[in-house]
Amino acid sequence: MTSSYSPESAHLEAILLVGGQGTRLRPLTLSTPKPLLPTAGVPFLAHQLARARSSGVRRIVFATSYRASMFAEAFGDGSAFGLSLEYMTEETPLGTGGAIRNAAQALTCGPDAPVLVLNGDILSGHDISEQVGMHVTRRAAITLHLTEVDDPSRFGCVPTDEEGRVTAFLEKTPNPVTNRINAGCYVFQRSVIDRIPEGQVISVERETFPGMITAGELVLGYADRSYWLDVGTPAAFVQGSCDLVLGRLPSPALPGPCGEFLTMPGAEVSPSAKIEGGSVVGPRAVVESDASVHGSVLDADCVIESGAVVVDSVVGAQARVASGAVLRNAVIGDGAVVGSGNELLAGARVWPGVRLPPNAVRFSSDV
């Protein structure tokens, strides 16, 4: 039986893991860390911060590494979110466990307090306060959020017994024993974090969790089938942004009402343009007459010229898609130009500043 945690009396703290380089999302992450990419009109992390605040978190320590200074520039002291934010940086990447241990130096809670650990590339609709409540009620060492998926063979799976105790961490297999997988949100007892070796490269998934299970410590699974998405690939990033705009996952950080599209301040959209599928038209972006944009993210100051087609794609800041060009599942880097007649499909990526002359490409995965 679970209960909701009472943050008012306990001052719940969290660690937010945002140190990755986001290599699967290049070229979008060449200049911007993945957690800061504009998602449904605001930096991705704004949605996580708002949800954490609504779930009772009051203080968050960022575990940063790649382009660390950009996080403080984006969120400052956290007062805009009703939060207190601290920033801890790894000089060299330490893995998930090492990052958690490094960030814990900035925690203020005692050894018996629960600490929420969030991954900076996950969108989730699960009940955080209920997960923390289970952890506190059962006096667990760690409580993991487990999401139930239709095809667990694509992931490692996490079986539990009838009382919710995690019994193993299993690698990918064609015949998984459960449809529950690690969803990347954890509640640690502070004393457990303090036992992670300091200054060493440690993986909680490969070392800490399996080691604690083997040692007989109480590792619990909080399982549900709520909305969950890892936004680590371009397709997933676009899907997450669109789902937020369409209202499939509520977010207190959404800068406008849910609907077929979201238009940011200064954007110009022709009355004859067709925009749908949860698309975002970024600040000062321009969508000209008879252009078609479906399920896509258009960043600040980009231009989609008359008659261009953009589907399930990302168009970077100050990029231009010329008349007659077609993008489907493509990523266009900042400042790039896609000339008329080009057709970029199925994972095509154009690096920042590249200029494709008219009719140069029918398909490319890397330009």
Return the active site residues: 172
Q: Which of 315, 224, 303, 292 is nearest to 37 (CA)?
A: 315
Cα Rg of the chain, angstroms: 22
How far is the C-alpha of 157 from the C-alpha of 146, rounded, in Å?
9
Give the 3-state secondary structure percentages of the chain, helix then strand then coil, rounded to 5: 25, 30, 50
CB 57 within 8 A of CB 13: yes
Q: Which residues does residue 345 pair with via DSSP β-bridges, in sequence order?
A: 328
DSSP 173-237: -SS-S-SEEEEEEEEEEHHHHHTSPTTS---IIIIIHHHHHHTT--EEEEEE-S-EEE--SHHHH
- Which helix (H) or strand (E) segment holds residue 238: the answer is helix 234-246
Look up residue 136 and give its two tokens: 């506190």
